[in-house]
């Protein structure tokens, strides 16, 4: 198990990079605008669940997310233009500034997580999409379903149907049709790559933006924060026996929080993550990195990670 004291987790940033014009602090990523056309994404070690940021960071989590996202962004550049230009630091991606589309394009191959919780309540429609009768938790859908969510500035994202997206003029019908087409293509690519590594890509989300009237893939893709994975080996056997699936995802964090009576409800405060559980989370994130990329994870240990990040970003900007 990882030594959670070997590096200082990044829970807050406050950079002033050369040419910086803006700063936005998200749940996990802090976005710094450089000039008119660049964004520096600093991937922190913050962890969120039920749309609530936990009070303690997870060592190496940001490096895992950044590394996995960079790998997958590079792997889909033939499907869609991505925002990524460079990864000058283990916690940093630099890319093009885009006008974000305020949607999360969620795609689900299996009846798991939020979809299952809705299904178990008796609902058979999610975001305007009909789910078949007679399914069990973790069963595969006949074909992947897209269940979008509005991208909230704060608080909870909300499910939304394609009809509501169009009636609210969030995007044009032409752009939404392209969003759905690209989402299916990205999920197929991610599914193929996961299968090669003995994993099942269960569900995930994609975010998009516009740059010079062109649709661009932004943010992270196929990371343990944005995706859920099962182990392929033994999946069918576990389904037939009604056993829980072996997962590589953030769902185990949600389950731990629920076991401590926290679901992000009003007036609930998240429990403190103890050293033992933080070590488990770090280990699980690294396991997914190594499993999905096929590479050994070499974490950059640092007592002063913010200084390292600032130096690496400034060096890249100076050479641009």
In this structure, the answer to whether residues 143 and 233 fall within a common structural domain is yes
Residue 223: count other Cβ atoms within 10 Å of its Cβ: 26
- The pLDDT value recorded for residue 287 is 87
State how far the Cα of 147 lies from the Cα of 209, in Å rounded to an integer.
18
Whether 298 maps to a domain, the answer reads: yes
> Is 225 contained in some domain?
yes
Please check whether residues 113 and 234 belong to one and the same domain. Answer: yes
* Within-domain flag for 209: yes
Query: What is the tens place of the pLDDT at every residue in 60-83?
Result: 999 999 999 999 999 999 999 999
Angle in degrees, CA 71, 77, 83, rounded to 5:
80
Classify residue 27: in a domain, yes or no.
yes
Domain count, the chain: 2
pLDDT tens-digit series, residues 267-316: 999 999 999 999 999 998 898 899 989 999 999 988 899 999 999 999 99
On whether both 270 and 212 belong to a single domain, the answer is: no
130-151 per-position pLDDT tens digit: 999 999 999 999 999 999 999 7
Containing structural domain, residue 282: 20-98+255-319
Q: Is residue 8 part of a domain?
A: no
Per-residue CA distances from 15 to 32, 254, 306 (Å): 8, 31, 9
| Residue 215 token pair | 């649709």
Which CATH number does the domain housing residue 73 bear? 3.30.200.20
In a domain, 222, yes or no: yes
């Amino acid at each position: 198990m990882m030594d959670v004291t070997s590096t200082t987790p990044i829970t807050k940033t406050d950079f002033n990079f050369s040419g910086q014009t803006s700063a936005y602090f998200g749940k996990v990523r802090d976005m710094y605008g450089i000039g008119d056309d660049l964004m520096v994404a600093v991937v922190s070690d913050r962890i969120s669940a039920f749309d609530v940021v936990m009070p303690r960071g997870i060592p190496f989590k940001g490096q895992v997310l950044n590394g996995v996202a960079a790998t997958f962004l590079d792997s889909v550049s033939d499907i869609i233009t991505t925002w990524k230009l460079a990864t000058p630091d283990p916690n940093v991606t630099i890319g093009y500034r885009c006008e974000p589309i305020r949607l999360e394009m969620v795609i689900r191959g299996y009846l798991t997580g939020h979809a299952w919780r809705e299904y178990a309540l008796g609902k058979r429609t999610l975001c305007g999409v009909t789910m078949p009768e007679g399914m069990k938790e973790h069963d595969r859908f006949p074909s992947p379903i897209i269940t979008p969510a509005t991208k909230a500035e704060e608080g909870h994202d909300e499910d939304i149907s394609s009809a509501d997206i169009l009636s609210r003029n969030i995007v044009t019908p032409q752009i939404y049709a392209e969003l759905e087409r690209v989402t299916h293509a990205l999920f197929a690519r991610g599914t193929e790559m996961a299968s090669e590594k003995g994993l099942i890509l269960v569900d995930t989300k994609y975010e998009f933006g516009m740059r010079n009237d062109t649709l661009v893939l932004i943010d992270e893709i196929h990371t343990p924060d944005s995706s859920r994975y099962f182990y392929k080996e033994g999946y069918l056997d576990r389904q037939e026996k009604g056993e829980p699936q072996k997962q590589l995802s953030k769902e185990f964090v949600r389950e731990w929080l629920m076991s401590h009576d926290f679901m992000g409800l009003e007036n609930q405060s998240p429990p403190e993550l103890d050293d033992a559980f933080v070590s488990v989370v770090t280990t699980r994130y690294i396991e997914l990195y190594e499993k999905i990329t096929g590479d050994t994870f070499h974490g950059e240990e640092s007592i002063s990670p913010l200084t390292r990040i600032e130096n690496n970003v400034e060096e890249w900007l100076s050479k641009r």
